[in-house]
Structure 1
Amino acid sequence: MTPDETGALVLALLAAGVIAAAWGWTPAGRSIWPPASLAVLAAALATAVPAELEGETPVAVGMALAGLLAVAGGGPVTAWVFAFVDRQGGTGAQSMQQAEKVLRGGAWIGGLERAAVAASLLAGWPEGVAISLALKGLGRYPELRNQENTGTAERFIIGTFTSVLWASACAGVVLLAT
């Protein structure tokens, strides 16, 4: 494969990831599509190393697809990780489930966080990631500080790490291919 063909494959994989991520939001797709979008993202990352996205249009399309995948795919993947953590049982599972009630708006905040992380990295401004995380931490501080339930802080940390890693990987596909 030529580098241009590999670049086209990267764009196709990103588009497939966006479709898989969209299906991850459906009730029936919550267990199947997050791992599928994770596999497609891994394939895109592996393919991006020898790829070359050259020209304004392919790079812009790649950035748009990576941003969409970061925002749309991060929610189902984060919920999938929470479901895995909750299945582990023990005394922490109930406190983790109760934390969801305290950390209201998490899906919206997570989507905005992933958009900010992906945009910052794609713009070549990694400091934006630190600013985004600082704002999120400061905004959630009162809810986290006033909890006797340690599951709330754990859920916040797990969700944040999952979300940031996902958005970084999505942006990394385009950065590796350019």
Structure 2
Amino acid sequence: MLVSTERGEAAALIVLAVGCGACAVLTAPVGTPTARACAVVGVVILLGAPANGLVSAVLSLARGSNASAGALSPLVVAMRGGRWIGPLERILILLLAAAGAQAAVAAVIAAKGVIRFPEINKDQDGRKAEEFLIGSMTSWILAVLAIAGVSVA
């Protein structure tokens, strides 16, 4: 029940983001403040739940699991903070990049590694490290794509 509700909300947010983008394209030429505002709203929405779903799907593929991306594995149930941390991190990276603070973006990325280092260091088989890297890189790629999308608008 929870999974289908989350998928419905994610689908609604995607439709809203695409609608904002369509409005920007139809009502304002690229480069205008209206087009940029619509792009920012759409990108922020997409960096939330829809991006979480994509990161979860990539992690499922990396794990080789046959379960759907929306299904929660026992590891994910125990560590639900990523559902908040991921979107906040992507939006923070977007804001810092928009402000021209590339050094601060690098600091956020470095801090994440430093904070997770003790946990990853204790991992004997390397699975946590791989999961951390795959999830983080997927998330950062989405943030970079969002930055590119906003800069084009």
Q: Segments of 4+ in structure 1 off by > 3 A?
A: 25-30, 97-104
- Find 1:160's aligned residue among 120, 126, 136: 136
SS in 2 for 1:27: helix
TM norm structure 1 = 0.60
Q: Give the alignment partner of residue 61 of structure 1, picking from 38, 44, 57.
A: 38
| Residues in 1 aligned to 2:100 and 2:49: alpha-carbon distance in whole angstroms | 22
Inter-CA distance 26–88: structure 2 relative to 1 (3 Å threshold):
closer
1:121 aligns with 2:97: yes
1:76-126 Cα offsets, whole Å, 9 max, x none, are 00001011112269xxxxxxx786578662222212211111212233332
Q: Map of 1:14-53 to 2, 5 A cutoff?
A: 26-27=3-4, 52-53=29-30
SS at match of 1:148: coil
Q: How many residues align?
A: 133
1:74 to 37, 43, 51: 51
Alignment of 1:134-145 (within 5 A): 134-145=110-121
Give the aligned residue type for 2:85. I
Which consecutive residues of structure 1, in runs of 5 or more, have no partner in the other structure?
1-24, 90-96
Q: Which moved more, 1:117-126 or 1:160-169?
A: 117-126
Q: Percent same amino acid at aligned positions?
A: 27
What residue in structure 2 maps to residue 3 of structure 1? none
In the superposition, the TM-score normalised over structure 2's length comes to: 0.69
Asked if the contact 2:86–2:139 (Cα under 8 Å) also holds between the matched residues in 1, the reply is yes
- Is residue 51–residue 142 contact of structure 2 (8 Å, CA) maintained in 1? yes
Q: Aligned-residue CA RMSD in angstroms?
A: 3.2
Q: What SS class does the counterpart of residue 121 from structure 1 fall into?
A: helix
Structure 1 residues 173 and 127: alpha-carbon distance in aligned structure 2, compared to 1, 3 A threshold: same
Q: C-alpha separation between the residues in 1 aligned to 2:57 and 2:148?
A: 22
Please give the alpha-carbon distance, in whole angstroms, between the structure 1 residues aligned to 2:87 and 2:50: 9
* Alpha-carbon offset, residue 140 of structure 1: 1.0
* Residue 150 of structure 1: how far off its partner (Å): 0.7
Deviations 1:55-86 (A, max 9, x none): 33332222122122123322100001011112
Q: Which runs of 5+ in 2 are unaligned?
A: 67-72
